[in-house]
């Protein structure tokens, strides 16, 4: 391993590695097309998301798996557009899950950065609250493990999420750096768990005080020494959390 690099780098998935909005729009476009072939009336992105959000807001589904919520939303969309849910739900679900399994919409800086870290001997893991499956993506062979909150038993920003990641990779938290796009869920929470932390801000927004933030993952490969100094600043600021 090159001197000065962490033992392991942990990456959030949605918004960090994967352009999730692009994935979501693509998958729901295909679902809308399938609905149109069944009912003669296609559903828009906003309509399908409204069905999903309505299900998620119900008390019965507040602790349900993400797949359960989405599948129920498709059942309601089928019924709402005049199709038989029991007859067509499996076909609609195959459209959705098939797109998500094969279309990952990776950001351009992802593959070069992961390859650089891997070649440098750094262990790579992905850690997410979502359900984007990277097992069929081109970057999957570069990862040592994929961690999802539904299987870890805790969700970000719960520090137990990060503690379980560290336990499963067999590394001291201080030897792990977590990179993600959420200030409360990725940055502050991983610092509280004893990790190093880097906040990824792809959009041109102002950097929060006392936070080490980057605009592109390429900055990790170009200036890791600078990243480490920034992480030290962030660690010292963790007691003055800004959310």
Q: What pLDDT score does 227 carry?
A: 52
Phi, psi dihedrals of residue 180, rounded to the nearest 5°:
-160, 170
The residues pairing with 177 across neighbouring beta strands, listed in sequence order, are 9, 196
Pairwise CA distance, residues 194 & 174, whole Å: 6
Query: What's the whole-model pTM score?
Result: 0.85
Output the pLDDT for position 207: 76
The answer to whether residues 241 and 199 touch, using CB atoms and an 8 Å cutoff, is: no
Is pLDDT above 60 for 234?
A: no
Closest CA to 88 of 65, 71, 70: 71
Specify whether the CB–CB gap between 148 and 131 falls below 8 A: yes
pLDDT per residue over 168-177, tens digit each?
999 999 999 9
**Separation CA 8–CA 125 (nearest Å):** 7
pLDDT of residue 220: 85
| 157: its two tokens | 């920003």
Residue pLDDT, tens place only, 205-225: 777 778 888 999 998 865 555
Residue boundaries of the structural domains of the chain: 8-18+105-240, 21-102
Residue 67: name the closest of 148, 138, 137 by CA.
148
Question: Domain 8-18+105-240 sits in which CATH superfamily?
Answer: HAD superfamily/HAD-like (3.40.50.1000)
Structure tokens at 172: 């001291």
Q: What are phi and psi of 204, to 5 degrees?
A: -80, 80
Position 243 scores a pLDDT of 39
Q: What's the rounded Cα separation, in Å, for the pair 213 and 204? A: 11
Q: In the predicted model, is pLDDT for residue 185 greater than 80? A: yes
- Exposed, middle or buried by CB within 10 Å (0-12, 13-18, 19+), for 86? exposed
Q: How far is CA 48 from the centre of its chain?
A: 21
- Model confidence at 129, in pLDDT bands (50, 70, 90)? very high
Nearest to 191 by CA among 174, 169, 216, 214: 174
128 forms beta bridges with 148
């Amino acid at each position: 391993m090159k001197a000065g690099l962490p033992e392991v780098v942990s990456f959030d998935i949605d918004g960090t590695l994967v352009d999730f909005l692009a994935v979501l729009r693509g998958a729901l476009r295909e679902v809308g097309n399938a609905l149109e072939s069944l009912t003669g009336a296609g559903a828009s992105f906003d309509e399908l998301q409204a069905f999903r959000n309505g299900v998620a807001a119900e008390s019965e589904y507040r602790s349900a798996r993400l797949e359960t919520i989405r599948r129920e939303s498709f059942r309601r969309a089928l019924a709402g557009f005049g199709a038989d849910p029991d007859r067509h739900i499996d076909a609609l679900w195959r459209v959705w899950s098939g797109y998500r399994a094969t279309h990952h919409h990776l950001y351009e800086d992802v593959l070069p950065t992961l390859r650089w870290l891997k070649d440098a001997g750094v262990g790579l893991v992905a850690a997410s609250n979502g359900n984007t499956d990277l097992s069929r993506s081109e970057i999957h062979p570069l990862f040592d493990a994929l961690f999802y909150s539904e299987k870890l038993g805790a969700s970000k920003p719960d520090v137990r999420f990060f503690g379980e990641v560290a336990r499963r990779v067999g590394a001291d938290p201080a030897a792990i750096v977590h990179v993600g796009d959420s200030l409360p869920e990725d940055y502050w929470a991983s610092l509280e768990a004893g990790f190093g932390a880097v906040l990824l801000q792809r959009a041109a927004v102002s950097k929060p005080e006392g936070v080490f933030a980057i605009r592109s993952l390429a900055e990790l490969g170009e200036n890791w020494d600078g990243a480490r100094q920034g992480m030290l600043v962030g660690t010292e600021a963790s007691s003055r959390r800004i959310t």
